[in-house]
């Protein structure tokens, strides 16, 4: 008990900073919005197909980015967790490389590659696969590509940690009991890596839901996601009420998604001893 109390003291500075600089302003914004306009800003959002479409686009882009990051990231993470190569550290640096460049710079990089006369179209035309350039830049596809590039390191890092903690002998044991490599993955590795999958997905989904620079730069002027819409309401429409309503709805959507993920997997997590002994 004594020990728990002193541990709480250690958490106090960060908790205080979060409270002062995050919780207080958020509450202030909510109180001010409702105080000035009542719930009309929220009602407007849900009654306008234009806004609902933006919410759906945001969720769709985030779900796709998360799913593709997981599918692409998992094999990489598994390899990284199991390899004994001396180049492991070099590979780790390569995985972390995107972190060294800002999201804006990376988006410009993708513009060069995906543009109408970009590298990709030039290449495809040169080898004769297409005759007219593909429209990728300024579409949802470009946003998803940029988003995956931005967020896949988070997914891989979450997965490496948990995959490394799985005893390789457990996989050998499954094989010796007659399980094919695929069955071993399905019944042993996958369930044991679930905590990493969950944390990776929550991380990538959340960051994708709230991203601004990538959709702004790669999606073109007609492409809107929740975060870009908030900025548009403030800078273009000068409608602070709508902006704060959108922020709150975005936050609620993320919390709801996290709740669904956590509840949906709670049965598994419980088996793993609340994740403690996983």
Residues lying near another protein in the complex (CB under 8 A) are found at: 167, 169-170, 172-181, 183-184, 187-188, 191-192, 268, 271-273, 277-278
Q: Are 33 and 25 in contact (CB under 8 A)?
A: no
For the chain, the distance separating the N- and C-terminal CA atoms, rounded to the nearest angstrom, is: 26
109 vs 181, beta carbon nearer another protein: 181
Q: Give the closest residue to 193 by CA, choosing from 122, 140, 268, 132.
A: 268
Nearer to another protein, 35 or 178 (CB): 178
Minimum distance between the CB of residue 192 and another protein, rounded to whole angstroms? 6
- Nearer of residues 192 and 226 to another protein, judged by Cβ: 192
**Residues 82 and 184 sit within 8 Å (Cβ to Cβ):** no
Nearer to another protein, 47 or 176 (CB): 176
For residue 69, the minimal CB distance to another protein (Å) is: 24
Apex CA 184: angle with CA 182 and CA 190, to 5°?
95
**In terms of CB distance, is 38 or 181 closer to another protein?**
181
Rounded to a whole number of angstroms, the minimum distance from the CB of residue 158 to another protein is: 18
Least distance in Å: CB of 194 to another protein? 8
Considering beta carbons, is residue 169 or 235 the nearer one to another protein?
169
C-alpha distances (whole Å) from 239 to each of 215, 231, 235, 244 are: 21, 10, 8, 9
Distance of CA 172 to the CA centre of its chain: 33
Give the separation between CA 55 and CA 42, rounded to whole angstroms: 13
- The whole-angstrom separation of Cα 191 and Cα 204 is 20
Minimum Å distance from CB 270 to another protein? 10
CB of 173 to another protein, least distance (A): 4
Nearer to another protein, 237 or 266 (CB): 266
Cβ-based neighbours of 150, under 8 Å, separated by 6 or more: 98, 103, 106, 207, 211, 214
Of 168, 155, 163, 147, the closest CA to residue 217 belongs to 147
Closest approach of Cβ 277 to another protein, in Å?
5
């Amino acid at each position: 008990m004594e020990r728990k109390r002193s541990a709480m003291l250690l958490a106090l500075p960060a908790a205080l900073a979060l409270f002062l600089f995050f919780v207080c302003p958020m509450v202030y914004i909510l109180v001010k919005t409702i105080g000035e306009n009542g719930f009309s800003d929220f009602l407007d959002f849900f009654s306008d197909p234009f806004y609902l479409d933006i919410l759906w686009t945001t969720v769709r882009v985030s779900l796709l980015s998360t799913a593709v990051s997981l599918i692409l990231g998992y094999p990489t993470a598994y390899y990284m967790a199991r390899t004994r190569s001396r180049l492991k550290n070099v590979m780790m640096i390569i995985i972390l490389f995107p972190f060294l460049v800002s999201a804006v710079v990376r988006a410009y990089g993708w513009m060069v590659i995906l543009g109408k006369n970009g590298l990709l179209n030039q290449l495809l035309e040169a080898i004769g696969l297409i005759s007219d350039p593909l429209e990728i830049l300024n579409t949802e596809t470009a946003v998803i590509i940029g988003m995956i590039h931005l967020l896949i390191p988070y997914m891989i890092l979450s997965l490496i940690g948990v995959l490394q903690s799985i005893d390789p002998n457990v996989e050998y044991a499954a094989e010796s009991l007659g399980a094919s490599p695929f069955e071993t993955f399905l019944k042993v590795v996958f369930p044991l890596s679930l905590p990493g999958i969950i944390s990776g997905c929550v991380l990538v989904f959340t960051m994708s839901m709230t991203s601004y620079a990538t959709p702004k730069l790669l999606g073109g002027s007609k492409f809107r996601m929740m975060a870009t819409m908030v900025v548009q309401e403030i800078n273009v429409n000068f409608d602070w009420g709508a902006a704060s309503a959108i922020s709150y709805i975005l936050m609620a959507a993320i919390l709801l998604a996290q709740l669904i993920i956590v509840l949906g997997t709670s049965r598994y997590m419980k088996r793993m001893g609340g994740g403690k002994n996983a």
